[in-house]
Structures are given as structure tokens and as C-alpha cells.
């Protein structure tokens, strides 16, 4: 009996062992395939890579003139809003050499190469900014083109482009037989030259916020390309620089490690800060999509998305500012509802929320207000055509509002001359609703002299209302009595 049972289980055990064996074989095959697909150490030429990177570090003679020419080309391209010209300047710029040199030297403890890289990098940056400053300061045409303004506000995408671009560049340089197309592609993608030109432009026109934003973008590109270089060189196990003096070797290794950490800490902080700003803006856009973008204006009101401001500040003073133009005002209860909706977003709770509306201002104040907002938010406008379209639309709107203005001073003088019983006259626009639509109604309020009889007041009120409708060509005018 027991032998029969034992014999019946043997085939199942054999089947299970075969399945395990097949699974192990499959996993081994997949592991081997991935190893062959992604393995890069065997095809790396460490000596040639190091030699080529070090050869690109020096900055003198031909290299300096190439840099100056590329700066002028990039500045002209940015000024003319020509993407093709800017790309050409990126391809000939020698700025990438010292950045790769810094990453390499930190990875292999080569303090001499690090010193040369830092010196040449500093000279290149100063010369680039100075050259761009001179061009924009002396050149008569200094339009704030979209190509220039696009370099003033880095975000999380710029961090990722710099890091993965740096990875691709170093991997391509390390391969036996360098892949030239990758080097050209990274030069275009990471765009080291245009931000420096924008720094010079910002200094030339006296707008330091442009200069700082562009320099921040350049710093991001530099740090993350250098960080990517450091990590790839470490992964490929390039031989470390050896020093005859063991004490000096330990000191150099320690200094290189400290410098590497000092570079990685701000790089990590920058990534975190830009990532937080990206998350904030994403939630802010979702909030706008759920509120103002679906709100239906009934008459002349409209939402000006190009002037709406989303500003992230890591100390909690972030701002979401909506801009609406026209005489139709958004009711306070709607704004309060939006404010409650804002607090439902985790990253928007502490942000200040404002709705700027133009309906309470006169035409001159509206025009000044639009001009101020336009100047402040010019960097967010994509093209000159967009700027012109926005200004034309606002000018037409303000002209329409100006035609509707009540000449109250003249009207009040005529009313006093024609109706002796009037003691005072007031005027205001009043928003009214039947819960289906909102209307803005012009209201004249009359204060009568003491002793005037009721029937006389009613008769004069009708006459005055008829006169005002004809005088101002507005059939919606309402006349009321005040005590």
C-alpha cells in the first residue's frame, strides 16, 4: 500500500523539478540577454576617453576665438528669435570641455585636471557673459524674443535634460570609436550657450531677474552634466590617479571626495527644489482647469490666461493670481468657493489666492493696469504675434469701455439746472442677477429737497429717467430715490 502511494508521487516530484529547472534556465537566459544588451565596460576605452576629455579642457588661442564667435552667433540668433542660428551656436561652442573635465577629475582623484578645468571654466563663463553683454548693450535692436525669455525660467525638465544628456555624452565619449552624433545631440539638448547669452542680455537692459533666471539654468546644466560624468566614470571603473607620496595621495583623494560631495549636495537640493516647484505648478494648473477655465461669463467679462500668475516660493508665500477683464465681476461667493477648492490641493493650501478684476476701475486705470501686468508677465508670452494679439484685444476692450463711461459731471450740472427740486445726485454701477444671468445696471440715485410731495417726486423721477436714457443713449438706466 505504502509503496504504491510512494510510487504514485514520484512523477509529480519529477514534473515540479523540471518546471523549476526550466524557470531557472529562462531567468538565466534573460539575465544573459540583458547583460549583453546593457553592458558597456567591455567596449570602453578608458585611456583614450581620458585623453580626449583632457584635450578639450584648455582655453586659449583657437578655442577662445571659437567661443567668442559662438557667443556672437548665439546672441544674434536669440535677438532675431531664430532657432536655427541658436542651434548652430550650440554646436560650435567649446563650453562642454571643462565641465566634462571637472566630472572626470573628481571621479579619478586628479586634482591637477580639476584645477585646470575650474580655471578654464571660470574664464569661459566670464568671457561669454561679457561678450554677450557688450553685444546687447551696443546693438540697437534689443527685442525680448521668445528664444531669450525661454531661458529665464528653468523647471524640472531642464534638470532631467541636463542629467540624461550628460549621461549620453560621457557614455558616447567612453565608447571605442566615439559616437559623434550623440555629442552633437547633447550639445543641442543641454544648450549651455543660450543661457549665458541671456545673462548678458539681462544685464545689458537692466533686468536682473532675467540674468538670474538664465544663470540658474546654466548652473543646473553645469552641475548635472558634471554629476552624470562623475557617476559614469565611477561606474566604468576608470583607473585612479596614483601619487608617489602616500600622504599626498590620501589628501588628494579626500579633497576630491569632499569636492564631489560639495557638488552633489547643491545638485540634489536644486533637483528637489525644482521638482517641488513643478509639482506646485501642476496642481495649480489642475485647480485653474477645475475653476476659472470652466466658469461661464454672461457678458463682457473674460479670463486672461496669459496674465495669470503662478509663483512658487519654498517659504510658503506662493501665489496664484487670476486676471479677469471686463465690466462683469465674478461674485464673491464664487471666489470663496474657489478658495475652498484650492485648499483641497495638498501643495496649494498655504498659497495666497487672488482674483484681479477690471470692472471697478475707470478706463485710464484699466489701461495702466493692463500695461503693468503685460510688462511683468512678458516672459510668459510665447511670440511677438501673441503679444500684439493680446494688446490689440485689450485696446479694443478698453475703447469699448471708454465709450460707455458716464459724463457724470456734465449730467449732474444739467440735472441741477433743469430740476429745481433735486438736492443731490449719485451714480454707480450695480450687479444684479435673476440666478440665470448677471447684469451690470447703471443706477442714478436722487435726493429730493425737503417738503416735496410724493406725487411730485414720482412725476419728476419719470421725467429724469426718460431724459437720462435719451441723453446717455442707454435704455438700461434706472432712477432711484434715496432719503
Residues 59-68: pLDDT tens digits?
777 888 888 8
Alpha-carbon gap, residue 51 to 246, rounded angstroms: 25
Residues 6+ apart with CB under 8 A from 178: 52, 172
What phi and psi, each to the nearest 5 degrees, are found at residue 139?
A: -75, 135
Q: Name the residue ranges covered by the structural domains of the chain.
A: 1-36, 46-241, 280-403, 408-482
Residue 13 confidence class, pLDDT cut points 50, 70, 90: low
CATH fold of 408-482 reads GMP Synthetase; Chain A, domain 3 (3.30.300)
Tell me if residue 357 falls in helix, strand or coil. Answer: strand
Q: What pLDDT score does 376 carry?
A: 58
DSSP code per residue over 189-250: HH--HHHHHHHHHHHHHT-HHHHHHHHHHHHHHHHHHHHHHHHHHHHTTPPPPP-SSHHHHH
Rounded to whole angstroms, the Cα distance separating 359 from 405 reads 12
Burial of residue 249 (CB within 10 Å: 0-12, 13-18, 19+) is middle
Rounded to whole angstroms, how far apart are CA atoms 396 and 302? 13
Residue with cell 540674468: 211
pLDDT for 182: 56
* Average pLDDT, integer, range 245-255: 66
Q: What percent of the chain has pLDDT over 70?
A: 76
Predicted confidence at residue 2, as pLDDT, reads 46
The answer to whether residue 388 scores a pLDDT higher than 80 is no
Q: Is a pLDDT exceeding 80 seen at residue 176? A: no
Stretch (H or E) spanning 335: helix 332-342
The mean pLDDT of 409-427, rounded to a whole number, is: 84
- Which pLDDT value is given to residue 130? 92
Task: Provide the greatest CA pair distance for the chain.
Answer: 128
Q: What grid cell was written down for 216? A: 540658474
Selection from 158-172, 383-397, 459-473 with the highest mean pLDDT: 459-473
pLDDT of amino acid 6: 46
Report which of residues 75 and 387 the model is more confident about.
75
Residue 126: the pLDDT is: 92
Return the percentage of the chain with pLDDT > 90, whole number. 1
How much is the average pLDDT of 35-42?
74
Amino acid at each position: 500500500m505504502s509503496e504504491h502511494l510512494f510510487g504514485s508521487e514520484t512523477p509529480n516530484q519529477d514534473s515540479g523539478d523540471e518546471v523549476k529547472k526550466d524557470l531557472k534556465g529562462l531567468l538565466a537566459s534573460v539575465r544573459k540577454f540583458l547583460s549583453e544588451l546593457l553592458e558597456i565596460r567591455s567596449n570602453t576605452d578608458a585611456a583614450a576617453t581620458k585623453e580626449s576629455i583632457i584635450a578639450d579642457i584648455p582655453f586659449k588661442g583657437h578655442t577662445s576665438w571659437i567661443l567668442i564667435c559662438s557667443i556672437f552667433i548665439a546672441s544674434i540668433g536669440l535677438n532675431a528669435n531664430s532657432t536655427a542660428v541658436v542651434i548652430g551656436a550650440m554646436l560650435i561652442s567649446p563650453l562642454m570641455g571643462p565641465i566634462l573635465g571637472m566630472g572626470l577629475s573628481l571621479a579619478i582623484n586628479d586634482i591637477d585636471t580639476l584645477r585646470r578645468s575650474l580655471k578654464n571654466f571660470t574664464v569661459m563663463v566670464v568671457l561669454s557673459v561679457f561678450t554677450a553683454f557688450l553685444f546687447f548693450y551696443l546693438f540697437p535692436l534689443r527685442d525680448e524674443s521668445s528664444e531669450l525669455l525661454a531661458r529665464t525660467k528653468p523647471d524640472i525638465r531642464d534638470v532631467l535634460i541636463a542629467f540624461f544628456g550628460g549621461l549620453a555624452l560621457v557614455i558616447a565619449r567612453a565608447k571605442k570609436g566615439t559616437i559623434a552624433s550623440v555629442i552633437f545631440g547633447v550639445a543641442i539638448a543641454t544648450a549651455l550657450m543660450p543661457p549665458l547669452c541671456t545673462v548678458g542680455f539681462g544685464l545689458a537692459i537692466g533686468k536682473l531677474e532675467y540674468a538670474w533666471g538664465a544663470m540658474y539654468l546654466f548652473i543646473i546644466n553645469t552641475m548635472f552634466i558634471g554629476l552624470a560624468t562623475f557617476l559614469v566614470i565611477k561606474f566604468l571603473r576608470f583607473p585612479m590617479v596614483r601619487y608617489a607620496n602616500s600622504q599626498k595621495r590620501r589628501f588628494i583623494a579626500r579633497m576630491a571626495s569632499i569636492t564631489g560631495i560639495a557638488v552633489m549636495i547643491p545638485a540634489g537640493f536644486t533637483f528637489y527644489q525644482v521638482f517641488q516647484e513643478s509639482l506646485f505648478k501642476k496642481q495649480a494648473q489642475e485647480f485653474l482647469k477645475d475653476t476659472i477655465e470652466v466658469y461661464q461669463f454672461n457678458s463682457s467679462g473674460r479670463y486672461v490666461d496669459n496674465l495669470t500668475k503662478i509663483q512658487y516660493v519654498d517659504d510658503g508665500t506662493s501665489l496664484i493670481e487670476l486676471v479677469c477683464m471686463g465690466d462683469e465681476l465674478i461674485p464673491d461667493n464664487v471666489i470663496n468657493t474657489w478658495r475652498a477648492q484650492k485648499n483641497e490641493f495638498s501643495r496649494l493650501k498655504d498659497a495666497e489666492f487672488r482674483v484681479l478684476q477690471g470692472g471697478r476701475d475707470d478706463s485710464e486705470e484699466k489701461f495702466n493696469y493692463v500695461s503693468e501686468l503685460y510688462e511683468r508677465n512678458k516672459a510668459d508670452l510665447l511670440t511677438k504675434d501673441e503679444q500684439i494679439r493680446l494688446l490689440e484685444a485689450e485696446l479694443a476692450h478698453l475703447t469699448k469701455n471708454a465709450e460707455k463711461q458716464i459724463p457724470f459731471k456734465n449730467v449732474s450740472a444739467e440735472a441741477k439746472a433743469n430740476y429745481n427740486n433735486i438736492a443731490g445726485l449719485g451714480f454707480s454701477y450695480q450687479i444684479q442677477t435673476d440666478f440665470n444671468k448677471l447684469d451690470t445696471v447703471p443706477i442714478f440715485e436722487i435726493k429730493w429737497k425737503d417738503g416735496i410731495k410724493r406725487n411730485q417726486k414720482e412725476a419728476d423721477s419719470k421725467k429724469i429717467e426718460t431724459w437720462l436714457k435719451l441723453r446717455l443713449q442707454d435704455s438700461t438706466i434706472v432712477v432711484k430715490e434715496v432719503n
